[in-house]
């Protein structure tokens, strides 16, 4: 019956029913009082509720962070005690719940609760206390965002972890690629003044450049983020991606055999074009021919 149904749900604030005919709110578990008190409380025995579905450990953190609620003492104690059991849940479900925590706001508090509960240490043991502290601070400036931005800030200091998290959280390859690119771009923005013009243009033409701007700004690099944004807005598509002055077919026509040297030469030519030092075919040949001979 309705009461038995509610008693098997996760938290009291999720245990309210509404009579569809009268509109009456039916509360068997004290959910209205906990809403007023801004509390996340497990229904009945917290250990039993979490043991029925360990994903509720992450849901507990997400509700508290997103709603700005506190977690009731016995519920919090059970959450911390059962944190190691989160690995019994499928990678897909864990990944989806973590995506919500780092993107639905306030993500900084969500990550802090994950750390305090012990869940973060189980799911991301590679992060040092210093990594976590910096990630919490950065996420605190983000607000509601997307998983790409949330994870970009969380992993800003540890981008090499991204590849390892693809199988761990069953991330789509396309998402992992965009995350790695956006995070790399944000780090480039952090050292914008050190980059040569060609590398700046390569960063600005990426599809994830706007995400990199947001990540860099939230990570505290406001000045360089503003400079890069202005540079991109002042650049034309042809300046960012000029048509190549020479192709591989051109190099073959000059009597050179295809191989690794082609890529080296053509990459060097693209750099010269982006830098503005090669604007004609003659200047292009002056760049590639010495490399091909070498």
Q: What is the pLDDT of residues 15-45, one digit of tens each?
A: 999 999 999 999 999 999 999 999 999 999 9
**Which of 80, 142, 152 lies closest to 113 in space, CA to CA?**
80
Q: Is it the case that residue 108 has pLDDT exceeding 90?
A: yes
Q: What is the mean pLDDT of residues 217-221?
A: 93
Lowest mean pLDDT among 48-52, 103-107, 204-208, 269-273: 103-107
How, if at all, do strands 16-18 and 25-27 pair?
Answer: antiparallel
Q: Which stretches of 64-158 are assigned E, i.e. beta strand?
A: 70-71
Instruction: Compute the average pLDDT of residues 170-184.
Output: 97
Average pLDDT over residues 206-230: 96
Residue whose entry in the numeric block shows the structure tokens 């919090």: 76
Lowest-pLDDT range of 66-75, 123-132, 134-143: 134-143
Packing angle of the helix pair 197-204, 222-233 (nearest 10 deg): 80
Whether the predicted pLDDT of 143 surpasses 90: no
Per-residue confidence (pLDDT) for residue 104, from 0 to 100 = 86
What is the overall mean pLDDT for the chain? Answer: 95
What was the pLDDT predicted at 144?
A: 72
| 3-state SS class at 149 | helix
Token pair belonging to 253:
């026509």
pLDDT of 141 above 90 = no
Which residues have C-beta within 8 Å of that of residue 254, sequence separation ≥ 6? Answer: 289
Supply the pLDDT for residue 251: 94
For strands 39-40 and 70-71, give the pairing: parallel
Structure tokens at 221: 């690099």
Three-class secondary structure of residue 128 per DSSP = coil
Give the span between the Cα atoms of 171 and 230, in whole angstroms.
33
Buried b (16+ CB within 10 A) or exposed e, 130-157: ebbebbbbbbbebeebebbbbbbbbbbb
**pLDDT tens column, 248-272:** 999 999 999 899 999 999 999 999 9
* pLDDT tens readout for residues 231-247: 999 999 999 999 999 99
Q: Is residue 178 scored above 80 in pLDDT?
A: yes
Bridge partners, residue 71, by sequence: 40
pLDDT of residue 105: 75
pLDDT at 166 over 90: yes
**Range 52-73 average pLDDT:** 97
Determine contact, residues 60/86, Cβ cutoff 8 Å: no
CA atoms in the 13 A half-sphere facing the CB of 221: 22
Q: Is the pLDDT of residue 221 over 90?
A: yes
* pLDDT given for residue 152 in this prediction: 96
Q: What pLDDT, on the 0 to 100 scale, is given for residue 294?
A: 81
Phi/psi at 221 (5° precision):
-100, 60
The confidence score (pLDDT) of residue 1 equals: 87
State the CB neighbour count (10 A cutoff) for residue 124: 23
pLDDT confidence band for 87 (50 / 70 / 90): very high
Mean pLDDT of 56-68: 97
């Amino acid at each position: 019956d309705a009461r038995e149904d509610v008693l098997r749900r996760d938290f009291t604030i999720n245990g309210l029913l509404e009579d569809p005919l009268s509109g009456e709110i039916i509360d068997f578990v004290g959910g209205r009082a906990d809403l007023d008190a801004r509390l996340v409380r497990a229904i009945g025995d917290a250990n039993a509720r979490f043991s029925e579905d360990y994903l509720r450990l992450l849901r507990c953190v997400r509700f508290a962070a997103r709603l700005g609620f506190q977690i009731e003492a016995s519920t919090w104690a059970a959450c911390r005690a059962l944190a190691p059991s989160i690995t019994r849940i499928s990678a897909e479900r864990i990944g989806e719940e973590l995506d919500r925590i780092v993107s639905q706001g306030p993500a900084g508090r969500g990550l802090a609760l994950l750390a305090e509960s012990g869940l973060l240490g189980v799911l991301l043991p590679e992060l040092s206390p210093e990594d976590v502290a910096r990630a919490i601070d950065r996420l605190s400036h983000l607000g509601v965002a997307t998983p790409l931005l949330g994870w970009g800030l969380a992993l800003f200091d540890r981008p090499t972890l991204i590849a390892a998290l693809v199988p761990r959280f069953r991330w789509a390859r396309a998402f992992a690629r965009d995350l790695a690119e956006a995070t790399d771009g944000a780090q480039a923005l952090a050292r914008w003044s050190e980059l040569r013009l060609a590398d700046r243009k390569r960063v600005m033409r990426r599809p994830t450049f706007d995400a990199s701007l947001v990540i860099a700004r939230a990570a505290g690099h406001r000045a360089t983020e503003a400079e890069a944004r202005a540079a991109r807005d002042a650049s034309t598509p042809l300046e960012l991606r000029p048509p190549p002055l020479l192709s591989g077919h051109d190099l073959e026509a000059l009597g050179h055999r295809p191989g690794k040297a082609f890529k080296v030469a053509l990459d060097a030519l693209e750099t010269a074009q982006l830098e503005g030092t090669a604007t004609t075919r003659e200047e292009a040949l002056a760049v590639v021919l010495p490399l091909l001979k070498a």
